[in-house]
Amino acid sequence: MEDKLAKRTWVEINPEALKKNLHICRELAPDAAVMAVVKADAYGHGLTETVKAIESQIDAFGVATLREAITIISLISEKKMVMILGALLPDERKAAILQDIHVTVSSLEEAKEFNDLGKSCDREVQAHLVLDTGMGRLGFSEKSFVENCQEIKTLNHISIKGVATHFPCSDQDNEFTEKQIKAFNSILRNSNIKPKWIHLANSAATLRIGNSSGTMIRPGLIIYGISPIEDSGSKLKPAMEWRARISQIRNLPPGSSISYGRSYITEAETKVATVAVGYGDGYPRSLSGKDTEVIIKGTRCRILGKVTMDMIMVDVTAICEPLKSGDEVTLIGTEGNECISVLELAKKAETIPWEILTGISPRVERMVCEENKE
């Protein structure tokens, strides 16, 4: 407790929740392997903490950068597939090859460049060919894939470990997603390649369609206990709670202005708590003026005025219990009978849960909470 109270703002990660959510993933796609997507500091949950918690529960890790991949390799106790889901820059490729990191290949030219590098360092490139079926971000075109595959198969230092595609709207458009799956499977059959790993399903697709005809799923958001689909009926458990501490409490008279721009003026005497968190910690400035609330002593309390870089001001007039500097504030999570979810904050900030989570800055310490809060 003393260690926690020494912090201004922190997030608590529940490893049991991560494991429970992964169990749900396997129930949704029982015949598929699981690639846990842990890019962007494990969606803000802390890469080191998350990898250590779920290593034994998954088959592979998916990341966005070479640095993330190398970090995971240094953390895991036994060798697993670590895959960079995005395109590598030319000067990153050799390092990835030397570490046996699985890489994405989106064109014949890229495949040839990887093959030349593999030849120069006498290593096999662990390649996953990406087919663009509608995302428009990476990948071979549907027209070029079959022809290019035949040439890639002749490259001596390229090992085709997988074929993948990505769904842009599996959270809202089943018809288009099904069309992608059908096109993907047709093209894959015509290509006459049989890789071990075929992966299409992201979190939303896993919830709706299971493995989406693949041999591996790539869950991200649902690992962390948040559904990308409203009313999904899932039993996912959020793995993160975000807290801060009160730094000061003041009684302000009527007519007092609060925060930059004087956008809020008190109409009556108001007890105001200044809380040690702000947009410098990743608490979005766009939550200003949206009736955003935090939880203090089990009571929802409204933010007053604009979110500043290091502080927010909160109306605590309704709290009857004594308050003091150092008391805890729940920004995301459960306290008493009240709960503030990432989805609630995202809606008020007019953004998406992914941005809220990944926006939590490095200065917010990640703490592993061993207690399973069921």
Beta bridge partners of 9: 244
Distance of CA 169 to the CA centre of its chain: 17
| 260 classed as catalytic | yes
Residue in 39, 161, 237, 348 annotated catalytic: 39
Q: Which residues pair with 352 in a beta bridge?
A: none
Is residue 283 part of the annotated active site? The answer reads no
Amino acid at 259: S
Cα separation, 254 vs 123, in Å, equals: 72
Q: Which of 207, 257, 260 is nearest to 236 (CA)?
A: 207
Burial (CB < 10 A; 0-12, 13-18, 19+), residue 250, is exposed
User: Smallest Cα–Cα separation from 193: which of 149, 143, 128, 154?
Assistant: 149
Q: Which helix (H) or strand (E) holds 361?
A: none
Does an H or E element contain 186, and which?
helix 174-191
Q: In the numeric block, which tokens belong to residue 219?
A: 């869950």
> Cβ(281)–Cβ(360) under 8 Å?
yes
Q: What is the pairing mode between strands 293-296 and 270-275?
A: unpaired
Q: How would you classify residue 46: left for phi > 0, otherwise alpha for psi between -120 and 50, otherwise beta?
A: left
Distances (CA, A) of 41 to 178, 275, 312, 365: 31, 25, 25, 12
Compute φ and ψ for 262, nearest 5 degrees.
Answer: 50, 40
Q: Which of 179, 182, 235, 260 is catalytic?
A: 260
Distance between CA 117 and CA 121 in Å, rounded?
A: 6
What the block records as the tokens of 346 is: 């995202």
Look at the alpha carbons of 68, 71, 77, 83 in this order and tell me if their dihedral is positive or negative.
positive
Rg (CA), the chain: 24
Catalytic residue numbers read: 39, 260
